Amino acid sequence: MGVIKSFFKQIAYILPEVEPPKKKISLRNRFIWSGIILILYLIMGNIPLYGVRTGGQDWFAFLRVIFASSRGTLIELGIGPIVTAGLIMQLLAGAEIIKFDFTDPEERGIFTAATKFLTIIVTIVEATAMIASRYLVLASYSVSVVTIVFLQLVVATILVMLMDELVQKGWGLGSGISLFIAAGVAQQIFIRMFSPLTVRVDDEIQYFGAIPFIIQKALQGDLQTTFMRTGNYPSLLGLITTLAVIFILIYTEGMRIEIPISHAQYRGIRGTYPVKLLYVSNIPIILASTLLADINMFATFLWSRFNPNNQDPLMNLIVQMETTEGGGLRIVGGLLYYVTAPTDIFQAMADPIRSLTFVITMIILAILFAVVWVEVGGLSSEKVAEQLVESGMQIPGFRRRAYSINLVLKKYIPLVTVVGGFFVGVIAGVAQLLGVFGSGMGILLMVDILMNYYQILMREQFEELYPSLARLVKI
C-alpha cells in the first residue's frame, strides 16, 4: 500500500461517517428517508447566510442547477465541492495515477475516505475564494463576520456530504446528489411555469410564471407580447423550448445500437449490450460546468486582488468586471465574458459573438470531456471487451477473445462518444440562450436522473415481490 493510500486510511478514522443499515430497509421506508433528506436540503436552501448581503449579477446562475445551489443561503456551494472532489478522484483512479482495487472492501473504503477528505479541502478553497474575491457581499469584513460566514459554508457543505452518503448507503434511493439536482431543476421549472407572484416590468405589474402571464395577456388581448420578455422572465418561447427539449431528450435516451451477446457456457442465455447515443450521459456537461465554475471563481479572485480598477492590460484580456449598485460584481469584458452565458434572449441577440462563442465553448468542452471520460472511466471499447470476456459473455459468430469483441465495439463507441458529446453540448448551450426553464443543462440532468430512478424503482419492486427469483437473476 502506497504512502498516499496509507495516509487516507489513517484519515478515515477521524472523518465523519454515516453507518449503513444493519439490514435492508423496505422500499417504503427508503422513500420516507429520501423525502426527509430532500426536505432538509430544501430548508437549507431557504436559510440565508448570516452576515451576507445579496446583490449584483450572479454569473454562476446558469451553473446553479448543476450544483443544486441557492445564492446567499446555506447551500451557496451546493454539491459543487462533492462533485469536484468525486470527479478528481475518479480521474486519478481511472488514469491509474492512484491505483485502487474496487473489488476489495478495504480499498473501496480508502477511496471513499480520500474523496471525503478532498471534498473538505475543495470546500475550504471555494469558501475562501468566494469571500476573498468579494463575490459574497458581506455586511462587514471584520474578522468575526468573515469567520462566521466561512464556517457556515464549510459546515453546511459537510452536512450535505453526509446527507448524500446517508442516501447512498442504503437508507434512501439512488444518491443524494441526483436527488438534489432533480428536485432543484423540477422546482425551477414549476416556479417559472406556474408562479402567481408579480413583478414590475416596464412600469407594468405582470405575473412571474409563464402560464399566469399568458392568461393575463390573453385577457388583455395582447398575446403578441408573451413570446419574449425582458429581464429573463419566463415567456412563451421559454415554455415551448422547455417542452421541446424534454421531448427531444426522452426520445434520444431510447436511441441505441444493440449488440447481441450470449453466455459462453450457458448457450440459452442471450441478451444485448446497448450502446446508447448518449453513451457518456451527462458526465461531459457536469465536467464542463465544473471547469467553467472553477475558472470563474479563480478569475474573480485574481481580478479583485490585482486588477480591481481594470487598469492592467494583461488581466483585462482575461476578465473585466464592474461593481453594481448592490455591491456585487458583473463581468463586462475579457475572455471570460465570452465563455459565460448571456442572462436572457435579448442580451444574446444584442451580442451574437458572445452567444456563439459560449455555445461553441460548451460543444468543444463536452466533446473533449466525453472522449476523456470514456478513456479514464472504463467505458472504452477495449475496457468493455475485457469486462464482457471476464463475465463469460461473447458476441455470437466471434471467438471469445477481448480482441474480437473490441473490433466490433470499436465501430460504434468512439463515434457515439463524439456525437453524444456534441449533442449534449448543443442542448446545454442553445437551450440556455433560449431561456429554457431550469436551463438546458438542468433538464438534461433531470431527465437522465429520473430515468435512472425509474429503473431503480422497477428493480426494487421486482426484488420485493420476487426475492427468490431476484437472487437467481443476480447470480
- Residue span of the structural domain in which 397 resides: 235-475
Residue 82 lies in a domain: yes
pLDDT score, position 121: 93
Residue 167 lies in a domain: yes
User: Residues 33, 25: contact at Cβ < 8 Å?
Assistant: yes
Give the burial class of 373: count Cβ atoms within 10 A of its Cβ; 0-12 exposed, 13-18 middle, 19 or more buried.
Answer: buried
- The conformation of residue 325, written as its DSSP 8-state character, comes to T
- Distance, in Å, from the CA atom of 424 to the CA atom of 43, rounded to the nearest integer, reads 31
Do 280 and 186 share a domain, yes or no?
no
pLDDT score, position 472: 44
- Distance, in Å, from the CA atom of 323 to the CA atom of 55, rounded to the nearest integer, reads 10
Among 193, 223, 251, residue at a domain's last position: 193
DSSP, collapsed to helix, strand or coil, labels residue 410 as coil
Residue 426 lies in a domain: yes
- Distance, in Å, from the CA atom of 260 to the CA atom of 272, rounded to the nearest integer, reads 4
- Distance, in Å, from the CA atom of 417 to the CA atom of 381, rounded to the nearest integer, reads 11
Mean pLDDT by 10 residues, the chain (475 residues): 76 85 84 91 91 67 76 88 83 74 77 90 90 80 90 94 90 86 87 89 86 90 82 85 88 81 65 78 78 76 79 83 67 83 81 91 90 79 79 71 79 88 88 83 83 80 63 45
- Distance, in Å, from the CA atom of 259 to the CA atom of 413, rounded to the nearest integer, reads 11
Cross-strand bridge partners of residue 333? 320
pLDDT score, position 155: 95
Residue 191 amino acid letter: I
- Distance, in Å, from the CA atom of 387 to the CA atom of 392, rounded to the nearest integer, reads 9
Residue 200 lies in a domain: no
H or E element, residue 82: helix 80-94
Do 265 and 185 share a domain, yes or no?
no
The label of the residue with cell 445500437 reads 257
Write down the pTM of the prediction. 0.77
Residue 280 lies in a domain: yes
User: Residues 186, 193: contact at Cβ < 8 Å?
Assistant: no
Do 189 and 73 share a domain, yes or no?
yes
**Residues composing the chain:** 475
- Whether the CA torsion 299, 126, 86, 439 is positive or negative: it is negative
Strands ordered across the beta sheet of 256-263: 270-276, 256-263, 393-394
DSSP, collapsed to helix, strand or coil, labels residue 396 as coil
Among 140, 162, 193, residue at a domain's last position: 193
Do 57 and 156 share a domain, yes or no?
yes
Residue 415 lies in a domain: yes
Give the CATH number, domain containing residue 240.
Answer: 1.10.3370.10
Among 131, 160, 193, residue at a domain's last position: 193
pLDDT score, position 465: 67
Residue 226 lies in a domain: no
pLDDT score, position 315: 83
Do 342 and 438 share a domain, yes or no?
yes
Do 253 and 320 share a domain, yes or no?
yes
Alpha-carbon distances, residue 444 vs 31, 252, 392 (angstroms)? 24, 11, 34
Cross-strand bridge partners of residue 329? 323
Do 186 and 259 share a domain, yes or no?
no
- Distance, in Å, from the CA atom of 245 to the CA atom of 241, rounded to the nearest integer, reads 6
247-274: buried (b, 16+ CB within 10 Å) or exposed (e) per residue?
eebeebeeebbebebbeeeeeeeeeebe
Do 182 and 112 share a domain, yes or no?
yes
Cell of 22: 444493519
- Distance, in Å, from the CA atom of 422 to the CA atom of 292, rounded to the nearest integer, reads 17
Do 164 and 305 share a domain, yes or no?
no
Do 189 and 240 share a domain, yes or no?
no
Do 411 and 273 share a domain, yes or no?
yes
Residue 69 lies in a domain: yes
- Distance, in Å, from the CA atom of 77 to the CA atom of 89, rounded to the nearest integer, reads 19
- Distance, in Å, from the CA atom of 294 to the CA atom of 57, rounded to the nearest integer, reads 17
Which residues does 231 contact at the CB level (< 8 Å), separation at least 6?
199, 201, 344
Do 330 and 440 share a domain, yes or no?
yes
The count of domains in the chain is 2
Per-residue H/E/C for 187-230: HHHHHHHHCCCEEEECCEEEECCHHHHHHHHHHCCCHHHHCCCH
